[in-house]
Amino acid sequence: MEKYELVSDYRHNEKLKASFNDLAIQTFGLDFRDWYNKGYWNDQYIPYSFVQDEKVIANASINKMSVRINGERLNGIQIGTVMTAEQYRHQGLAKQLMQHILKEYESACDFIYLFANDTVLDFYPKFGFTRVHESEFSLDLTKNPIQPKKGAKVRQLTIEQDLALLENYAKNRHINSSILAVEHNESLLMFYFTLVFQHTIYYLEDVAAIVLMEEEEGVLHIFDIISLQAINIEAVLTSIIKDTTKKVVFYFTPDFTIAGMTATITPNDDDALFILTKKPLLQGHFMFPLTSHC
């Protein structure tokens, strides 16, 4: 097999960074330029890439994560952006990158984890990862109605006009869940603000919170709630639900109870969680915050 150069941590190398971005566009349809040109690529996110002729041909990145589980702060390594250019597949490059990352970090953190799609569900157990099913937290408003607040001040935010506000909330967010939360996560939050949820960001003036949300066919999807202080969830919900809202789904682990809320273990082959750890970490119902996925 042909030998390729293994290069890492090249966020200041414009040529390799551009090549990395080209491969991400080809693989995931994601253009990272707006994110890193604004300076959000920090030293927590480290790509490990095979390079040929100054072009990134395969990659697996790590993100250093500070994770709180039941109040305890743990150092996690999340693996993401695993991709190989089409003409270089089936050469074992992803396997070599995984082996390199595990050798470098396995003894330097409390656990390693990643999210995988249905094409690679059999790949990660080969490295000792165990699949763990997360739960869906939802609220049935047909059985436990919540009255929408009349005149609630909800404003849609944009990157162009509200960047300073978004950066402030990303940098100084309050940890709202003692069960499972990610802290010091400004870089990834800005990734989701700028690339993923740029059209679904709302500011609730009455409760001073940013909510990433979208309602489809009576289901309100709340992807994240970002605040600078502890929130009153009922005040948040009354500000954003409509008369048409029948169900609310939360994409994180709520640290609150509301009448009618349920948690159901929900296998998800499109975003399957795999964990490598020496001791059990998570029990019962939980969900890693969607906005902490890398």
Q: Are residues 149 and 249 in the same domain?
A: yes
Q: Are residues 157 and 277 in the same domain?
A: no
pLDDT given for residue 199 in this prediction: 96
pLDDT given for residue 107 in this prediction: 93
Number of Cβ atoms within 10 Å of the Cβ of 65: 24
pLDDT given for residue 256 in this prediction: 85
pLDDT given for residue 188 in this prediction: 97
Q: Could you list the pLDDT tens digit for every one of the 294 residues in the chain? A: 568 999 999 999 999 999 999 999 999 999 999 999 999 999 999 999 999 999 999 999 999 999 999 989 999 999 999 999 999 999 999 999 999 999 999 999 999 999 999 999 999 999 999 999 999 999 999 998 999 999 999 999 999 999 999 999 999 999 989 899 999 999 999 999 999 999 999 999 999 999 999 999 999 999 999 999 999 999 999 999 999 999 999 999 998 888 889 999 999 999 999 999 988 889 899 999 999 999
Max CA separation in the chain (angstroms): 66
Hey, what amino acid is at 29?
G
pLDDT given for residue 257 in this prediction: 82
- The β-bridge relationship of strands 201-204 and 154-156 is antiparallel
Q: Are residues 182 and 40 in the same domain?
A: no
Q: Are residues 59 and 100 in the same domain?
A: yes
Q: Whole domain around residue 277: which residue ranges? A: 5-133+267-289
Q: Are residues 164 and 258 in the same domain?
A: yes
Supply the DSSP string of 194-262, one letter for each residue: IIISTTSEEEETTTTEEEEEEEETTEEEEEEEEESS---HHHHHHHH--TT--EEEESS--SS--TTEE
Helix, strand, or coil here: 85? coil
Q: Is residue 36 part of a domain?
A: yes
Q: Is residue 294 part of a domain?
A: no
Q: Are residues 170 and 119 in the same domain?
A: no
**CATH assignment of the domain containing 253:** 3.40.630
Q: Is residue 257 part of a domain?
A: yes
